[in-house]
Amino acid sequence: MWKIIVDVHAVWKDTRLIVLTAQIASIYAAILIPFKVGIPLIPGFAELRPANAIPVVTSLLFGPPAAWGSAIGNLIGDCFGTLGPASAFGFLGNFLYGSVPYLMWGRLGPFSSGREPLIHSWRQGLEFGIICIMASMVCAGVVAWGVEFLGLLPFSILAPAIFLNNVVMGLLLGPPLLLFLYPRVKRWNLRFEDIRQTFPHHDHSMKRWTPAPQTENLSAPHDNLSSMVEINHLNFQYAHTSRFALHDVSLRINRGELVALIGRSGSGKSTLCYTLNGLIPQFLPGIMTGSVYVNGMDTTHEPVWKQAETTGVVFQDFETQLISTNVEMELAYPLDQGNTLLSEEDRHTCIEQALELVSLTGLNRRDPLTLSGGQRQRLVIASMLVRNPSLLVLDQPMTDLDPAGRQEIMTLLYQLKQQGSTVILAEQDPEDLLHVDRIIVLDQGQVKWEGPPHTLWAQPALMKCYGLRPLPLAECFSGTTHSTLPATVEEAWKFVDAHHMKVETHPTHLQMTQRTPPIQPEQERNILRLENVGFAYTEEAPALQDVSITIQEGEYIAIIGRNGSGKSTFAKLLNGLLLPIKGQVLVEEMDTKTMPISQLARVVGYVFQNPDHQIFAESIWDEVAFGIRHVGYHPEAYTEQVIQALEAVGFDAQQERTVDPFSLTKGARQRVAVASVLAAKPKVLIIDEPNTGLDAEETTRLMEVIHHLHQAGHTIVLITHTMRIVAEYATRCLVMHKGQVLADGPTRSIFSDRSLIEAAGLDVPSVTQFSQRWGRTLLTVKEVQAALIARSYDE
């Protein structure tokens, strides 16, 4: 009994458990709305809804956080509608509903299977059944008794309804959900006992990290005045891994410096960032040696939340960092965490100053969810700056942003540097980092290169060796023997002049190296046709207006435009996810309104931006087979199609078929998603922002996969804001702006129209800008190189 109380109380001692509790609560509350099966047992009180399996399942997965999570989730659900005195009994009932399974599993004497909460054997099934019935009874009893006590409904009406609902859903959904989720929870060490093992507060024999014996006497940094960060011989190895995530890293970063950390996925960028405010080793367990000092303070000992005053850390995913329902409260939160009590006026001044700094003045009352990506990330940065930290660390803050959003962030960072702030920025793509003070290249946990950006740009081969994408303009001149290479269009132009180079201007002499040949007129066959299509999510704002276009079989078409221009709406109309309000969408001359989605999926496949929004199966084989099963292929056709799809995206169909897709890297998960859509053999593949969060090598690999699919005859519709990819692969371009098609034509002619591109809020790749200086529209590095070389032959 005592253990239960301690466990339940312990949830509030650890941030991860608090987060888990809030996550379970929000899932429980959120699932009630869209997944309603819609059979009201008692209106307003009980409905037959699948969400009621969540407390039982999460209780067996996570233990005490599930008890709190279910209780709070039920309360939150009430906060979206029917908050009343009965909510108190709902809270208690759900708390018990979420704790009984955890308490009873393995403690049922002869009825206990003595195994993990998975339903593989009949004994486990029996144990689960008993527990599910007991938990449902307790929950139903408490809630119905309370509601009768309040005189709202008789016990005999409500109790059976709740009991029936919980038991039916628990028994039907519990076993499959546990089968899918338990192994993953176990792998990610998120079971209650796993998290407790890393507790700092209770059990002092278990430490979060083990300092290895130090070989040399490391003293505190000697020069506090000029250096902000001082790292000495830092080694770090995550728990349960055999590889060093950081290996003998020594660094010094001066006050007022803007430093970029770059490297491929898994090179140790994030790990290094996490050491700067003590997340490593205090939060992520592992073995650490060496020392990290920030502003003269040892980061390994001071609690992380205290270090927030010195160091602000911004993460990649801004969704995870916004915690309030309006902008002002978002900024007030960090101020309330400090020990000093600010007066209302000072608070207001701090908030206004921070908003001004990130150019969000006047948006005080806005819900952060209604801001654009760039604005949200700037809000996160403001929430760090509001406490005036000495150091700002940003871990890949621009991954989820469009080019305009990225530009906003970089402008802000340069501005911060002007004001004397010290900023460390981890990034994958060097193209945005032209004006930083210093670049540090990490690979395999080691500092491989360090120096001013221009010196790095001049070594495209070296950059490739560390998995980085060379600057396109520098790469254009990489054949030359000069020690510095240009980074910007202006520099490239001067470079050509300074080295007396000439460029080929005659179009017939230009080698057009674009990868994909255009469709010949005689091969034309309409596969998708939109006629005067209009669509709107709400009555006020149309999302798409009067769009009429035709797509031929075998085309490679890119849909470009800023975020919110209607790209995704357009694409979702193509496979019937959305149906037009006006006009019609014809797939192989059939109206999407008349075709069932399963039939459409055989013609038009849609790969979503985030692979995690579709992956659920236990193995990549099952994941890929899921798509085929639903579009009505015969089971015997499965095997061959799954093998083909897996091999098309570069998996070994025999060796890797049982791999859990959850354990793969982002790039590999993206490939699984492509395969699972591909397996149904759709003629058209719509691919939404495929390169989000992938590094240079992963992007190239994925784009090559797509290129091969196109060559094999698939029609490709690519939604992207990476203009470089459009230039290299797509033959046709559709420019969207404010819900309308601004232009439609061959990529080269679209890119040659500067005013059009600017009107759409876009920018052509730097190599194209460069070639336009001499009156040509070249799309790729190879084309520019060819133009340069052609001329040198003449010389």
Partner 1 sequence: MSFSLYLDTNTWVHRLDGRTKIVCLLELFSVALLFSHPWYLLTLMSFVLMGMGAAKGMRNLQTMWVLLVLLFVYSMVLWPIFVNGQTPLLTIGNWVVSVEGLTHGMGMGLRLDVLVLSGMLFLTTTPIEDLSKSLQRFGLPPAIGFAISLAFRWVPTLLGSTTIIMQAQRSRGMDLASGGLLHKIRRYPPLVVPLIGHMLRQTNLLAMALESKGFGPSQPRMAYHAFSFQRQDYVALLSSNTLLGVSIWLNMHGYGTINIAF
| Binders of partner 1 in range 85-144 (CB under 8 A) | 85-87
469, 572, 671, 681: which one binds partner 1 (CB under 8 A):
572
92, 116, 160, 184: which one binds partner 1 (CB under 8 A):
184
Q: Which of residues 259-288 bind partner 1 (CB under 8 A)?
A: 274, 277, 279, 283-284
Our CB check for partner 1 shows the closer of 8 and 781 to be 8
By rule CB under 8 A, what count of residues binds partner 1?
A: 128
How big is the CA angle at 415 (ends 412 and 418), to the nearest 5 degrees? 155
Residue 48: φ, ψ to 5°: -75, 100
Q: Residue 523 CB: number of other CB atoms within 10 A? A: 9
Q: How far apart are CA 420 and CA 439, in angstroms?
A: 18
Kindly state whether residue 612 participates in binding partner 1, applying the rule CB under 8 A.
Answer: yes
Residue 255 CA, chain-centre distance (Å), reads 32
What's the min distance (Å) between Cβ of 496 and partner 1? 46
Residue type, 263: G
110, 114, 151, 420: which one binds partner 1 (CB under 8 A):
151
Nearest to 694 by CA among 676, 671, 677: 671
Kindly state whether residue 396 participates in binding partner 1, applying the rule CB under 8 A.
Answer: no
User: What residues pair up with 732 in beta bridges, in sequence order?
Assistant: 557, 746
Kindly state whether residue 680 participates in binding partner 1, applying the rule CB under 8 A.
Answer: yes
The first and second tokens of residue 762, run together, are 């876009």
Q: Residue 340 CB: number of other CB atoms within 10 A? A: 7
How big is the CA angle at 112 (ends 108 and 116), to the nearest 5 degrees? 120
Q: Are 334 and 308 in contact, with CB atoms under 8 Å apart? A: yes
Kindly state whether residue 35 participates in binding partner 1, applying the rule CB under 8 A.
Answer: yes
Q: Are 311 and 238 in contact, with CB atoms under 8 Å apart? A: no
423, 436, 458, 631: which one binds partner 1 (CB under 8 A):
631
Our CB check for partner 1 shows the closer of 373 and 430 to be 373
- The window from 72-80, 498-506, 555-563, 777-785 that contacts partner 1 (CB under 8 A) reads 72-80
What's the min distance (Å) between Cβ of 319 and partner 1? 6
Question: Longest C-alpha distance within the chain, in Å?
Answer: 98
What's the min distance (Å) between Cβ of 142 and partner 1? 18
Kindly state whether residue 637 participates in binding partner 1, applying the rule CB under 8 A.
Answer: no
Q: Are 134 and 163 in contact, with CB atoms under 8 Å apart? A: no
Q: Give 382-412 as a DSSP string.
A: HHHHTT--SEEEEESTTTT--HHHHHHHHHH
Kindly state whether residue 367 participates in binding partner 1, applying the rule CB under 8 A.
Answer: yes
306, 464, 502, 791: which one binds partner 1 (CB under 8 A):
306
Our CB check for partner 1 shows the closer of 274 and 495 to be 274
Kindly state whether residue 541 participates in binding partner 1, applying the rule CB under 8 A.
Answer: no
Element of type H or E holding 559: strand 556-560
Kindly state whether residue 549 participates in binding partner 1, applying the rule CB under 8 A.
Answer: no
Our CB check for partner 1 shows the closer of 75 and 259 to be 75
Residue 109 CA, chain-centre distance (Å), reads 45
Nearest to 315 by CA among 357, 285, 274: 274
Parallel, antiparallel, or unpaired: how do β-strands 582-587 and 526-536 relate? antiparallel
55, 627, 739, 765: which one binds partner 1 (CB under 8 A):
627
- The window from 25-33, 112-120, 245-253, 553-561 that contacts partner 1 (CB under 8 A) reads 25-33
Q: Which of residues 766-795 bind partner 1 (CB under 8 A)?
A: none
- The window from 238-246, 248-256, 324-332, 415-423 that contacts partner 1 (CB under 8 A) reads 324-332
Kindly state whether residue 321 participates in binding partner 1, applying the rule CB under 8 A.
Answer: yes
The binding track of 649-678 with respect to partner 1, each residue x by CB under 8 A or -, is: -------------x-------------xx-
The first and second tokens of residue 590, run together, are 């059939």
The binding track of 487-516 with respect to partner 1, each residue x by CB under 8 A or -, is: ------------------------------
Show Cβ contacts of residue 247 under 8 Å, excluding neighbours closer than 6 positions: 235, 444, 445, 446
